[in-house]
């Protein structure tokens, strides 16, 4: 860990202890880092970021910093949208103000424990910032008396390929991390142990700890369940996980894909979300002993709302052309807004 003078209390601050701008200033100064990595998520959940110098970072802590707003005006292939109001040639792509979020400070274990901070677009970009959107939804839920707890779990394919080799092969006939159908195989997770271990360790170091990780059925498919947290923190962890799982894979000579469906021969890749609500006093809003499925009225209505609105909100749930390849009958994914009941197999909030 890079050196630096200890805090007044004689204890070196850990990145996840950072809460305020003053803390962020302290940890950057204490560690004597020259550059800080900052990032913000675009509309597709892709992290756009850069390194900024210590001086620039410190001066940005209060007033924020500018990020060319083209990151809100282009698609996942950096092609400029011609049909959005927010930005375009009609606005000249000015800088979008970004607010740094001190309490998202994390270590970068693969960059000599350098420091990383997330940012969020301030107005006017805030209206189309996905993190800002979630924050507003959560504020409204809080006004109703609810705090949401969430756990994301992801399936992803891992290939023994590089960014160059997948292009040379035109994304066909790729070599999976390991062959065959080896759901929950301990042979696979012991043989390919270095990558598994690094993924587990780095995710823990970056506070997006994995609660369960296993080889899914299908060649080179993994499933990672990220530990439950309050909704905004859980979404940060999920978005960071998707970004850095790819990084860790590439550093191990693999490529991870989170496409919904990358082959007609294999199952699609889910990103299930586990949600529970607590009241202000910390009690479960969803559980009521004695009712069918132990389901409170609030939980039943919650499911009712999700079910009724799923067709009209599907664009936010299935946001790519490829998403719709997964939503076909017989492949473990739904085609209608239905619900089922089952018994808990995983401890959750």
Partner 1 sequence: MISGSPKSQRVEYRVAAADSNPYVILSAALASGLWGIENKVEPEPVVTGNAYDRKYPARLALPRTLWESAQRLKGSKMARDWFGDAFVEHFAATREWEEREFRKHISDWELARYFEII
Q: Which of residues 212-251 bind partner 1 (CB under 8 A)?
A: 231, 234-235, 238-239, 242
- Which of the ranges 13-21, 182-190, 195-203, 259-267 carries the binding residues for partner 1, by CB under 8 A? 259-267
User: Least distance from C-beta 129 to partner 1, angstroms?
Assistant: 8
Query: DSSP states of 287-298 as a string?
Result: B-TTSGGGB-HH
The size of the chain, in residues, is 349
Q: For residues 150 and 275, is the Cβ–Cβ distance under 8 A?
A: yes
Q: For residues 160 and 175, is the Cβ–Cβ distance under 8 A?
A: yes
- Strands 35-41 and 47-53, bridge-based pairing: antiparallel
Question: Residues 34 to 63: which contact partner 1 by CB under 8 A?
Answer: 41, 43-45
Site for partner 1 contains 81 (CB under 8 A): yes
Distance between CA 227 and CA 208 in Å, rounded?
Answer: 7
Residue number with CB closer to partner 1 (187 or 313): 313
User: Least distance from C-beta 31 to partner 1, angstroms?
Assistant: 29
Tokens coding 17: 């202890």
Those residues whose C-beta lies under 8 Å from the C-beta of residue 295, and which sit 6 or more positions away, are 286, 287, 288, 303, 341
User: Least distance from C-beta 347 to partner 1, angstroms?
Assistant: 6
Tokens coding 138: 């959560």
User: Least distance from C-beta 324 to partner 1, angstroms?
Assistant: 6
Site for partner 1 contains 7 (CB under 8 A): no
In degrees rounded to 5, what are phi and psi of residue 48?
Answer: -110, 130
User: Least distance from C-beta 196 to partner 1, angstroms?
Assistant: 18
Residue 215 region, left (φ>0) first, then alpha (ψ -120 to 50), else beta? beta
Interacting residue with partner 1 among 31, 48, 106, 131 (CB under 8 A) = 131
Question: Residues 153 to 192: which contact partner 1 by CB under 8 A?
Answer: 154-156
Residue number with CB closer to partner 1 (167 or 346): 346
Q: Mapping DSSP to helix (H, G, I), strand (E, B) and coil, where does residue 50 land?
A: strand
Site for partner 1 contains 272 (CB under 8 A): yes
Residue number with CB closer to partner 1 (102 or 271): 271
- Which of the ranges 100-108, 178-186, 196-204, 284-292 carries the binding residues for partner 1, by CB under 8 A? 284-292
Residue number with CB closer to partner 1 (57 or 146): 146
- Which of the ranges 21-29, 92-100, 143-151, 188-196 carries the binding residues for partner 1, by CB under 8 A? 143-151
Largest CA distance in the chain: 61
Closest CA to 30 of 41, 38, 22: 22
Site for partner 1 contains 194 (CB under 8 A): no
Question: Residues 84 to 113: which contact partner 1 by CB under 8 A?
Answer: 84-86
Through-space distance between the first and last CA atoms of the chain, rounded to whole angstroms = 34
Site for partner 1 contains 281 (CB under 8 A): no
Site for partner 1 contains 195 (CB under 8 A): no
Interacting residue with partner 1 among 9, 190, 281, 341 (CB under 8 A) = 341
Site for partner 1 contains 197 (CB under 8 A): no
Interacting residue with partner 1 among 19, 50, 140, 169 (CB under 8 A) = 140
Interacting residue with partner 1 among 52, 100, 148, 177 (CB under 8 A) = 148
Q: How far is CA 304 from the centre of its chain?
A: 26
Distance between CA 29 and CA 231 in Å, rounded?
Answer: 31
Distance between CA 42 and CA 69 in Å, rounded?
Answer: 10
Strand partners, 39: 49, 118
């Amino acid at each position: 860990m890079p050196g630096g003078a200890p805090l007044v209390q004689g204890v070196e601050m850990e990145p996840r202890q950072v809460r305020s701008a003053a803390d962020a200033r302290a940890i950057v100064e204490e560690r004597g880092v020259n550059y800080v990595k900052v990032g913000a998520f675009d509309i597709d959940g892709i992290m756009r970021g850069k390194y900024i110098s210590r001086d620039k970072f410190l001066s940005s802590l209060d007033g924020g910093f500018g990020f060319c707003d083209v990151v809100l005006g282009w698609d996942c292939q950096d092609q400029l949208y011609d049909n959005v109001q927010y930005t375009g040639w009609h606005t000249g792509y000015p800088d979008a103000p970004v607010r740094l979020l001190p309490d998202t400070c994390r270590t970068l274990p693969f960059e000599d424990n350098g420091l990383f901070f997330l940012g969020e677009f301030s107005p006017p970009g805030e209206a189309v910032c996905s993190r800002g959107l979630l924050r507003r939804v959560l504020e409204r839920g809080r006004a109703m008396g609810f705090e949401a707890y969430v756990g994301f779990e992801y399936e992803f394919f891992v290939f023994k390929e590089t960014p160059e080799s997948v292009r040379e092969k035109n994304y066909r006939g790729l070599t999976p991390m390991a062959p065959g159908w080896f759901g929950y195989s301990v042979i696979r997770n012991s043989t390919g142990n270095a990558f598994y271990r690094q993924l587990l360790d780095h995710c823990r170091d970056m506070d997006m700890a994995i609660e369960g990780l296993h080889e899914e059925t299908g060649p080179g498919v993994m499933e990672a369940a990220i530990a439950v947290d309050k909704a905004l923190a859980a979404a940060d962890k999920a978005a960071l996980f998707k970004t850095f799982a790819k990084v860790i894979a590439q550093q191990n000579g693999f490529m991870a894909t989170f496409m919904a469906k990358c082959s007609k021969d294999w199952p699609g890749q889910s990103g299930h979300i586990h949600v529970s609500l607590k009241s202000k006093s910390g009690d479960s809003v969803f559980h009521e002993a004695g009712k069918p499925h132990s389901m409170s009225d609030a939980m039943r209505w919650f499911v009712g709302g999700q079910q009724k609105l799923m067709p009209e909100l599907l664009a936010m749930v299935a946001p790519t052309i490829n998403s719709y390849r997964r939503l076909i009958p017989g492949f473990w994914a739904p085609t209608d807004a239905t619900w089922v009941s089952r018994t808990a197999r995983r401890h959750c909030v």
